[in-house]
Amino acid sequence: MDCGLWTASRKILHIDMDAFFAAVEVRDRPELAGKPVIVGGDPQSRGVVSTASYEARKFGVHSAMPAARAKRLCPQGIFLKPDFSKYKKVSEQIYSILSKYTSVIESGGLDEAYLDVTENNLKIEDPILLAQMIQQNIKAATKLTGSVGVAPNKYLAKIASDYQKPAGLTVIWADEVELFLENLLVRKIPGIGPVTEKELHALGIKTVGELALRSKEDLIRHFGKWGVSLYERARGIDTSPVEPWGEPKQIGSEETFERDLMNLREMEGKIKSLAEEVSFYLKRRAARARTVTLKVKYSDFTVITRSRTLHEPFDDADTIITEARRLLAEKTEAGKRLIRLLGVSASNLESAEEENETKATELDLFH
């Protein structure tokens, strides 16, 4: 491949592992190879599918689907409980490989990351060669495959990595952006979910090419501020930088109950265990938070979130329990409406290190 053709000013890679949780399970239990493997909650109760192997996807099984539905679609499916600590270890292994190539890496979760390889540790100019090396390196170390997108920005790189899964390598050249996007369905634009998709369909817009025919004013009229992003996405524009090691903006945990809850005591008990989990994760990251958020999903699936920000940063379970219970009592219809899910999260995070630095600066001011 002639890298002289690469005229874009930035070289961005997006890597996304294939059927991640399922692929790890199949790797560790070779007898599952080629079988429909579904990782997630219990199909006998109200569990949800985390992911499914490509064999299971042929039956229509996909992430976030109720596991009971997956079982109906694919009765011969092999249902496995997720083993998060195992996936976390594999993820760390992958990140340590990626960091050999560049330090400008942004985590998109356990199984995906953006890399800015415009400048890279190996001083290799051709981003496609780098993408191939990364794929081979990950395969050799983990026996897992990932798909990579190479493009002039993050948005296009993400679309590209999804384009030829599994084990795909897709390049969007700077001068081919328009052609690439023309027939792509709007749903493929990251950030466009079923709701926006429906609204766009109602306006007669099915493809990105059709979206590009609309004026900015037109899109702003229909979608507000989000219309500006849509206008830019339709033209392949994204100037956002790869933000190295983006720390999570929030740490949370949630639970869908076996049966909908009305009893406040029972919900307070659930909040306690969710808060303890959040506190555990905060401490493990040596982070402290200032905001507690409670999420409630009622039995009719409407979701609300209510937050409170405190003066002092915290990482202890007691503070989270107290605040989340207060939010439940004062800001929700708990006890009057059935509740299907509760979630507790902590945000406005600062690391212990940052906190020490702030304290040090404050001290300096007074000396």
- The residues that are catalytic are 112
Q: Does 25 bind Mg ion (CB under 5 A)?
A: no
Q: Does 106 bind Mg ion (CB under 5 A)?
A: no
Residue whose tokens read 């037109």: 218
Binding residue (CB under 5 A) for Mg ion from 6, 13, 16, 55: 16
Residue whose tokens read 């202890």: 316
Binding residue (CB under 6 A) for ligand TTP from 25, 55, 106, 111: 111
Q: DSSP label at 98? A: H
Q: Does 111 bind Mg ion (CB under 5 A)?
A: yes
The whole-angstrom separation of Cα 138 and Cα 46 is: 35
Amino acid at 122: L
The pattern of x and - marking residues 166 through 205 that bind ligand TTP according to CB under 6 A reads x---------------------------------------
Taken in order 120, 122, 127, 130, is the CA torsion positive or negative? negative
Question: Cα-Cα-Cα-Cα dihedral of 93, 94, 100, 101, to 10°?
Answer: 180
Rounded to 5 degrees, φ, ψ at 23 are -65, -40
In the complex, the smallest distance separating the C-beta of residue 172 from ligand TTP, rounded to whole angstroms, is 18
Exposed, middle or buried, 300 (CB in 10 Å: 0-12/13-18/19+)?
exposed
Indicate the pairing of strand 78-80 with strand 37-40. Answer: parallel
| C-beta of 17 vs 327, nearer to Mg ion | 17
| C-beta of 23 vs 296, nearer to ligand TTP | 23
| C-beta of 164 vs 302, nearer to Mg ion | 164
Q: Does 50 bind ligand TTP (CB under 6 A)?
A: yes
In the complex, the smallest distance separating the C-beta of residue 135 from ligand TTP, rounded to whole angstroms, is 14
The count of chain residues that interact with ligand TTP, using the rule CB under 6 A, is 14
The interface partner of residue 63, options being Mg ion, ligand TTP, none and the CB cut-off 5 to 8 Å by kind, is ligand TTP
Q: How many CA atoms lie within 13 A of 347 on its CB side?
A: 12
Q: Are 333 and 324 in contact (CB under 8 A)?
A: no
Beta partners for residue 297, in sequence order: 303, 341
Q: Does 55 bind Mg ion (CB under 5 A)?
A: no
- Positions touching ligand TTP (CB under 6 A) are 16-21, 50-51, 63-64, 111-112, 165-166
- Positions touching Mg ion (CB under 5 A) are 16-17, 20, 111
